[in-house]
Structure 1
């Protein structure tokens, strides 16, 4: 296999109709490490929004069970990527994610913002910052956008942006308006950085933390009230990532896919896992966890298949009360 064969395969596919397959190639063959880093930063950014960071802090899930929450998130998103949205692990993971989200009173604007981070941050990491071994083409950016538009639709999100540019503008404006310090958001951020350090040998843990801080942009540093990284650290981190990209460009293509559940940093399920039982199940949750709350005719037929209180109309997660309920 030649270095650009996967790229050429992508460009023979339709950006909308084949968006799942394109995402599988990008995430498991072309850029598995980069996509993982970009999506990690995407989720991390959301902690700086008080309504999101505050909720995560109050649940104690991202501070008291950080490793498990990391694992659950990676597995759920990874299963949808690997298996698509059809019957099987992909749809089961979509169901599980929607069940968890319906456990809390999350506004549509926050849903749209989080979705925008998934669309925009991989493009910024690979193209804008130059950390990819090659740039994403407009065709690939369009496929990423269509994939997350489809996911957002299956989540019941309303008023989903139609183009990459609209997602980008939404992300930037939402962060300008909403990024702010909260004790809960800072606690979630600290716990996440503490977990990231454990992915490296203890002898380099301190360097790994400083490197992680150096790739955070100023808006995040300010929102969490961290001491700004030095110019030298920022420059060193940037050069290291760009040097890595040059090395990867000269490597053979990854012929065997690398999926989320192959990541050694996922440690919570050494004996395997049941998709229906991972994630959170808040006490007193009114959602019946053995039924499917995803309501969409494309997936489940005309009635949405939403027996037991699901959202058959696809109008979005039914709001519950606060974090103690589901």
Structure 2
């Protein structure tokens, strides 16, 4: 009897052991063969990524505002060097596309001022299709030299001096200068406010005005309002008197439009023309330029394109790791060559290399001697024949250096007037 109990007990233990072993084996097999939960992984990664976007998107502007916290109550106390640092956050890091786009349209809208366009037609630099492309590229390069570059180094001073030399040959109303400056300040802000992934802060807007006031002083004109509100009010009043249609306005604007159309097939010219007009949202400006109202579909396309773009950047794209660097680089021969990624219409001053030709394969024009692929010096920029101004430009650049060393307009008390 006891023997049977012992046997039964042993059998029971063996049975229990076998059951546990079998159970563990089944569980192991289940773990090994269970399907991997990809939806959960994808959801987790997506949420983590979108959270990271939200955390990093505004980090740069928050850091800038902490750095200049003492100026937040009155950003007009900034000096132009501080203003340049703040402005470059918008220009090269957060909003390079719409900042550049708005600056380009500021120039186009300036053609509605009837006191300025007759001179542009007379010089034929914009009205002549053969020279309009170079004129547009040179304008972009010159502005880039002191917006992207350093206005106080040698190349920045030479670019500013060449710009002054070209302007002083003609009689231009001071009000026209101030109006163009107002457009360069306010137009990018308008586009960014309406369509970018975040609006500009008041610190950024005011810094832009502070820096452009310095540019205006070095171009030799005053009368620039002190605040953004005063500048906008001044612009409105000036346009009531000077913004109206004359044939010269249409000629210059049409020449600019033709540069855009060069890059598109002929069957798309009507489509592109309507999009071009839709970018000019103010009816009084369209009337002054000689353009009709755009069709509703063109306005719908452009408006929604920019809005969707801003939404996607804000919520789905990480901020760029480094600011853009579009400033042309100096070669071994001391001449400057442009990056093909940053040309507007024609490859002026782009080195003729296989890589640059590959980047520009969609463009009708390719780098070569006809586009001065040997590069440029700041004092050489501008219409053909103005290279003779080299000595005068260098002399003015030296005088500007002394002007800055004396404290500029802040200390001297008047704009730079050398050679005017």
Interval of TM-score (by shorter of Structure 1 and Structure 2): 0.7 to 0.9
Count residues with an aligned counterpart. 311
Q: TM-score, normalised by structure 2?
A: 0.67
Task: Judge which range, 293-302 or 146-155, deviates more.
Answer: 293-302
Instruction: Give the 3 Å change call, closer, same or farther, for CA 135–302 of structure 1 in structure 2.
Output: closer
Instruction: Give the 3 Å change call, closer, same or farther, for CA 287–42 of structure 1 in structure 2.
Output: farther
* Correspondence for 1:101 among 167, 185, 203: 167
> 2:298 aligned with 1:233, yes or no?
yes
C-alpha deviation, 1:276, in angstroms = 0.8
Paired residues of 2:150 and 2:156 also in contact (CA < 8 A): yes
Instruction: Give the 3 Å change call, closer, same or farther, for CA 25–54 of structure 1 in structure 2.
Output: same
Higher RCO (C-alpha under 8 Å, 6+ residues apart): 1
Task: Judge which range, 250-259 or 136-145, deviates more.
Answer: 250-259
- Residue matched to 2:256: 192
Instruction: Give the 3 Å change call, closer, same or farther, for CA 247–107 of structure 1 in structure 2.
Output: same
- Unaligned stretches of 5+ in structure 1? 305-311, 320-326
Aligned residue runs from structure 1 range 9-24, under 5 A = 9-14=63-68, 15=75, 16-17=78-79, 18-24=82-88
* Correspondence for 2:415 among 314, 323, 326: 314
The CA distance in 1 between the partners of 2:243 and 2:218, in whole Å, is 27
Q: Residues 212-260 of structure 1: CA distance to partner in whole angstroms, max 9, x if unpaired? A: 1112121122112222212332233211211111122232222333326
- Residue matched to 1:277: 380
DSSP-derived class of the 1:27 partner: helix
Instruction: Give the 3 Å change call, closer, same or farther, for CA 191–13 of structure 1 in structure 2.
Output: farther
DSSP-derived class of the 1:114 partner: helix
- Residue matched to 1:3: 57
C-alpha deviation, 1:27, in angstroms = 0.8
* Correspondence for 1:172 among 233, 236, 251: 236
DSSP-derived class of the 1:83 partner: coil
The CA distance in 1 between the partners of 2:86 and 2:169, in whole Å, is 32
Paired residues of 1:131 and 1:242 also in contact (CA < 8 A): yes
> 2:389 aligned with 1:299, yes or no?
no
The CA distance in 2 between the partners of 1:235 and 1:42, in whole Å, is 22
The CA distance in 2 between the partners of 1:218 and 1:287, in whole Å, is 45
Paired residues of 2:217 and 2:416 also in contact (CA < 8 A): no
- Residue matched to 2:394: 290
* Correspondence for 2:127 among 54, 63, 69: 63
Aligned residue runs from structure 1 range 117-136, under 5 A = 117-127=183-193, 130-136=194-200
DSSP-derived class of the 1:160 partner: coil
The CA distance in 2 between the partners of 1:303 and 1:159, in whole Å, is 16
The CA distance in 2 between the partners of 1:196 and 1:206, in whole Å, is 12
The alignment yields a C-alpha RMSD, in angstroms, of 2.9
- Residue matched to 2:366: none
The CA distance in 1 between the partners of 2:300 and 2:161, in whole Å, is 42
Q: Residues 72-111 of structure 1: CA distance to partner in whole angstroms, max 9, x if unpaired? A: 1111111111222212322221111111111111121111
- Residue matched to 2:93: 29
- Unaligned stretches of 5+ in structure 2? 1-52, 69-74, 328-337, 351-372
Paired residues of 2:126 and 2:255 also in contact (CA < 8 A): yes
The CA distance in 2 between the partners of 1:83 and 1:240, in whole Å, is 31
- Residue matched to 1:78: 144
Instruction: Give the 3 Å change call, closer, same or farther, for CA 257–175 of structure 1 in structure 2.
Output: same
- Residue matched to 1:112: 178
Which structure: greater helix fraction?
2
- Residue matched to 1:322: none
> 2:222 aligned with 1:158, yes or no?
yes
DSSP-derived class of the 1:68 partner: helix
The CA distance in 1 between the partners of 2:67 and 2:267, in whole Å, is 46
